Amino acid sequence: MAEQPTGGDQGPQGAPSGPGDDTGQGPGPGGPGGDPGAPMGAPGGEGDGIGAAASQAYGEALEGGASPQEAFEAGGAAAQEVATEMGMPQEEFDQGMEAASGGFEDAMAGGASPAEAFGSAMDAAQEATDPGTDMGPPPDGAPTGDMADVSGDMTGVSGDMSGVTGDVSGVTGDVSAATGDVSGATGDMTGVAGDMSGVTGDVSGATGDMTGVTGDVSGVTGAMNDVTGDVSGVTGDMTGVEGDMTGVTGDMTAMSGDMTGVEGQPPADMMAPEGDQGMGAMDQAFGDDGADKGTPPPTDDPMGAAMDQAAAQDAASSMPDAGQGAPDTMADVGPQDDGVPKVEEDDQSGGAAG
């Protein structure tokens, strides 16, 4: 999905274009009205390709709080739309998307950041389709926008930097949706949005609006749209939690709900259910220590079955419509051999019955 050069050559006719004006990195010193060029991944026309459309949709979905998988699906839908407009054969597109999906899943399973996983997906799509098909990732582009308050090494940084301040030496990726001072942050900012002032640490893997979030986000992943406060004490996937995280500690991956006011590790009742534990778990928790908690009671007890049957028949005989002179059901049961030797009443010698 490689992006084609756009912008810079669309000024009024007759205006002299500057050198390098057709690189797609912005206008040369030509006449007014030149398009400064679309930021990386932003479709600016039919020539931008399938990859650019997918990349933009993917990033916007992450910024809105979508999971990486949901964002990938949004990118796939955008890619399908552009592919259809370009007249790409559906069979070829499906071949590329199948490869992209496999590459994305493998990368995420291997611990890649959302941006890295998407890049792997687009590379796989490009390799799986004809060389002339535009299904590769858009090329890295130089950052654009107002960089008056930005300093540091911008290698690897892309997108519109208007609104971003501070030293960007430690970050990479698309910063278009971010604002504020990023001096304390490191890592890939693709998919991150909102005010980054006060956020420190590696943001790779975290997505969504971080406005109101402070502290070290290293080790935190998932959508941050619904959380605020200091996240320095927590790790794991934040997708299921919300509220002020100040004072909360521990891995949030299995947690859910509003953490406002929680101190330390959240209580067990805030843990997201992992399947139906049911009464079986309670029985195992409170059963006798010496009992086999995983073995059900026997069901082939002849004495118990006979007594249950007798009790049921007695109950039926006591009903108003029951016949008179109902037989003694307990008598019908007869003696039961429970395996214990019996002592004969008339055996004065005390000997046991044979």
Q: Which residues contact 264 (CB under 8 A, 6 or more apart)?
A: 247, 248, 249, 250
**pLDDT given at position 78:** 92
**pLDDT given at position 186:** 95
Torsion of CA 248, 249, 250, 255, to 10 degrees: -10
pTM attached to this predicted model: 0.54
What Å distances lie between residue 36 and 178, 217, 354, CA to CA?
A: 20, 34, 108
**pLDDT given at position 282:** 38
**pLDDT given at position 2:** 39
**pLDDT given at position 198:** 92
Sign of the CA dihedral running 329, 335, 340, 342: positive
**pLDDT given at position 341:** 56
For each successive 10 residues of the chain (354 residues), what is the average pLDDT?
A: 40 40 40 35 45 87 87 92 88 90 91 86 85 62 87 90 94 92 93 94 93 95 94 94 96 94 93 54 40 47 60 58 48 53 50 44
What residue ranges do the domains of the chain occupy?
46-128, 150-262
Token pair belonging to 42: 């932003």
Length of the chain: 354
φ, ψ of residue 187 to 5 degrees: the values are: 95, -175
CB 224 within 8 A of CB 177: no
Instruction: With residue 104 as reference, give the H or E element that holds it.
Output: helix 90-109
Q: Choose among 342, 327, 341, 336: nearest CA to 306.
A: 336
